[in-house]
Structure 1
C-alpha cells in the first residue's frame, strides 16, 4: 500500500496519506508533502456526523424522519437527497459558471450565514429527486438548532464527536486549521495552473454540510463506532443504510442513504472542498477500514484517477 500511495504522489498529488485497519492491526502511510497524523478538511464526510446527530434526535423523539421541514421535503428526504432542492454552490460562486475561479478568491474570507445559502438553494428551480445537494443539510442544521436551542455545530460536537472520543475532529472557528496540517491545493480542472493553496478559507459556505476538520485516524474510529451501533442505535443505523440512487457532483451515481453511502460491500462517505479531498469506507462488520486524504482537488489528470483507484482496490482487497 505504501507503493500505491507513492504512485498517487508521483501522478501529481502533492500529499497523500491514509490509515487502514483490519484484523491484523493498523497501518498508516503517507507520500509527498504529508504525514499520517495531519489534520485535514474532510468536506462532505461531515454529512455522516450531521446525519448521526439528526438520528439521535429522532431516537429522543425530538424529530420525526417523516416530518416536513420545507414544503413537502421531510427530514428523511433532506438526509437522503430526494427533496428536489437545488444545490447553491454555483449561486454562491457564480464565476464557476463562466469558467473563472474569481469567486473562490472573492469568497475566501467571506462569512456566509446558513439562511442566505439556504435561500439561494430553495429559491432556485427544483431539481429531480436524487440529485446531490448541500442545501438540505444546511436546513437540517437549522432544524437541530430549533429543537436543541443551541448551535448545530455545538450539538454535533457534544453528542457525536465528543461521545465518540475523537480528539482531532472539530468544526472550524476561523479560516485557519489549528494544529499540524498541510497546504490544500485547488486546480479547478485546470483553471488554476499552478493549483492555488486554499488551506486558509472561511468554511461557512458549507457549514454543517461539509466544514469539519479531522484526521484519517479519527475517521476510522468514528465509522467503527457508528457501524457497531455505538453512536446511534442499530435501528437508526438500519435506517441510515436504506439507499437509493443519487447523482453526485461529478455526475456519477452512488447508492445513498441517510448521510451514508454504499461502495460495493463497504459503507462510508467521501468529501471535497477547495483543495482537500477525503475518502473513508468501511466493511459493515468494521473489520476492514480505509480512510484516505489528498491535498489536491479537481485535477484533470487520468493518471491520478488510476492511481487512486489502484490504492482503493488494494486497501479494500477488492
Structure 2
C-alpha cells in the first residue's frame, strides 16, 4: 500500500505501509510491522562472478538494524547483473532468502496498473482527462474526477484503509493493521465494497485541488479497466505480463498462497495491551488491497518490467512523459509523484524513477534510470524484531539507492 506523503515522521506501522503505496508507502511498506533481526551476510557467489560487496553491505544494514528478517536484491548496470540476499528465509533457520524468490510487491502494483491504463489511452479506449463518471456512472463519482486524477492521487477520494477527512479528522476504513487485520487477514473483499466504503466517507478535497495518496484511486482504476476491456486480469496478462514473459508475476485475486520459492514474512502486533505477538503472514488474502497492491512477483520480473517501461517499450513517448510529470505537492522520501511513478532527484546528480510498495509483512523496491538501462529491484520480508522504522528505514534506503546509482 501507500499513503500520505510525510510518512517518515510517523510511527513504524505507517512507514511500512507506504513503501506500499508510497512511502507510500501509501499503504504500508511493511505495513505496521516492526521487523526481524539477524543473520550474517549472504556468502553465496555474486552473479556472473562479480564481487559487489558494497551492495551486499548495503542490504545487510536492513537486517542488522532489525528492519528486515530477510532481503533479496537485483541490480543491473554497466557491470552486468548482480543478485544477492541477506538475512534468513524463515525465522529459526539459517537458510538465506532465495534470490529468485517470489514475494508480495504491495504498491509497486500501482505502476503496473498505471502502465496498463496508459496503454488503453494510447489505444484510444480511454481519455486521460475524461471524467471517470462517464465510464463508471454506477459509482456516483464526482463528475470532475478524471482518469489522470486517479493515477496522480489528486481525485480527493478518501483512502478506504485509513485517512483523514476534509477537516483533518480521522476516518476509519477496513481493518488494515494490528489485531483487527490479523483477525480478518483471510477475508475476501470486493472492489465495489472498498470503493463504496470510501465514497461513504465523503471527499477529502475538491477534485484536482490537492494531492493525497489514496489506495481507492487504483481500485477505481481497476474497475475502469474492467469496464472498457471486460477483464482487468486478462488485459494485464495480454498487454504486459505475456509480452515481457513475466512468468513468475501473478494477480492472486483471493488466493492466499505464494507458489515457491519464497521467503517467509512476519507481522508483529499488540495482541493485548502491552503484549506483543509475532505471526507468519506469508499466507493472506490480498483482496483488502486489490489493484492498489496485491500482485506477486520476483526481482527479475520487476527488473524486466521497469526496464522495458522506462526504455519506451510499453507506452508511447507522450504517455511516458505524462507518467514522469511530478505533482509539486507530493513530496516524500521517494521523490514526487507523477502518474503511478515517483520521480526522485539524487543527491549525486541525475534522476531515478521508482515505485516501492508494501503489504503486511512484505515490501518491494523498484528503481530505474530514465533510459531503463540501470535498475535496482528488491524484496524485504519483516520479522520479529522491534525496530525504529521511522528513523532507520529512510537512512538505510537512501544508503542503498546511493550505493546502486551514485557509486
- Unpaired stretches in structure 2, ≥5 consecutive residues: 1-54, 89-96, 133-140, 163-171, 346-350
Structure 1 consecutive aligned stretches of length 4 or more whose deviation exceeds 4 Å: 188-192
Is residue 300 from structure 1 mapped to residue 388 from structure 2 by the alignment? yes
Query: Could you tell me which residue of structure 1 aligns to residue 81 of structure 2?
Result: 26
Counterpart CA distance in 2 for 1:172 and 1:45 is 15
Is residue 175 from structure 1 mapped to residue 264 from structure 2 by the alignment? no
Identify which of 267, 273, 280 aligns with 2:366.
Answer: 280
Q: CA deviation at 1:49?
A: 0.6
TM-score normalised according to structure 2 size? 0.72
The structure number with the bigger radius of gyration is 2
Query: Could you tell me which residue of structure 2 aligns to residue 50 of structure 1?
Result: 113
Counterpart CA distance in 2 for 1:43 and 1:246 is 23
Query: Could you tell me which residue of structure 1 aligns to residue 320 of structure 2?
Result: 237
Worse overlay, 83-92 or 73-82: 83-92
Worse overlay, 297-306 or 198-207: 297-306
Which has more helix, going by share of residues? 1
Identify which of 202, 206, 210 aligns with 1:125.
Answer: 202
- What does the per-residue CA deviation read over 1:111-150, in whole Å, with 9 as the maximum and x for residues that have no partner? 0000000011122132243110010111111111111122
Counterpart CA distance in 1 for 2:60 and 2:343 is 27
TM-score normalised according to structure 1 size? 0.91
Distance of aligned partners of 1:95 and 1:165 in 2 relative to their CA distance in 1, 3 Å threshold: closer
Counterpart CA distance in 2 for 1:40 and 1:282 is 20
Counterpart CA distance in 2 for 1:52 and 1:204 is 21
Identify which of 285, 288, 294 aligns with 1:205.
Answer: 288
- What does the per-residue CA deviation read over 1:159-213, in whole Å, with 9 as the maximum and x for residues that have no partner? 1111222121111141111121111122369988454321111001111111000
Counterpart CA distance in 1 for 2:188 and 2:176 is 18
SS at match of 2:73: strand
- What does the per-residue CA deviation read over 1:42-79, in whole Å, with 9 as the maximum and x for residues that have no partner? 00110111111111111111111011113111000000
Distance of aligned partners of 1:253 and 1:222 in 2 relative to their CA distance in 1, 3 Å threshold: closer
1:86 touches 1:125 (CA, 8 Å); kept in 2? yes
1:220 touches 1:291 (CA, 8 Å); kept in 2? yes
Query: Could you tell me which residue of structure 1 aligns to residue 348 of structure 2?
Result: none
Distance of aligned partners of 1:303 and 1:52 in 2 relative to their CA distance in 1, 3 Å threshold: closer
Worse overlay, 303-312 or 164-173: 303-312
Counterpart CA distance in 2 for 1:189 and 1:299 is 15
Counterpart CA distance in 1 for 2:291 and 2:378 is 21
Query: Could you tell me which residue of structure 2 aligns to residue 196 of structure 1?
Result: 279
SS at match of 1:187: strand
- Unpaired stretches in structure 1, ≥5 consecutive residues: none
Q: CA deviation at 1:94?
A: 4.4
Query: Could you tell me which residue of structure 1 aligns to residue 340 of structure 2?
Result: 259
Q: How does 1:38-187 map to 2 (within 5 A)?
A: 38-69=101-132, 70-71=141-142, 72-90=144-162, 91-94=172-175, 101-128=178-205, 129-150=210-231, 152-173=232-253, 174-187=255-268
- What does the per-residue CA deviation read over 1:73-128, in whole Å, with 9 as the maximum and x for residues that have no partner? 100000000001110113443485xxxx1221222111000000001112213224
Q: CA deviation at 1:287?
A: 2.5
Worse overlay, 212-221 or 127-136: 127-136
- What does the per-residue CA deviation read over 1:283-305, in whole Å, with 9 as the maximum and x for residues that have no partner? 00123211121102895344454
Distance of aligned partners of 1:209 and 1:246 in 2 relative to their CA distance in 1, 3 Å threshold: farther
- What does the per-residue CA deviation read over 1:200-242, in whole Å, with 9 as the maximum and x for residues that have no partner? 1100111111100001111111011001111111121111111
Query: Could you tell me which residue of structure 1 aligns to residue 406 of structure 2?
Result: 317
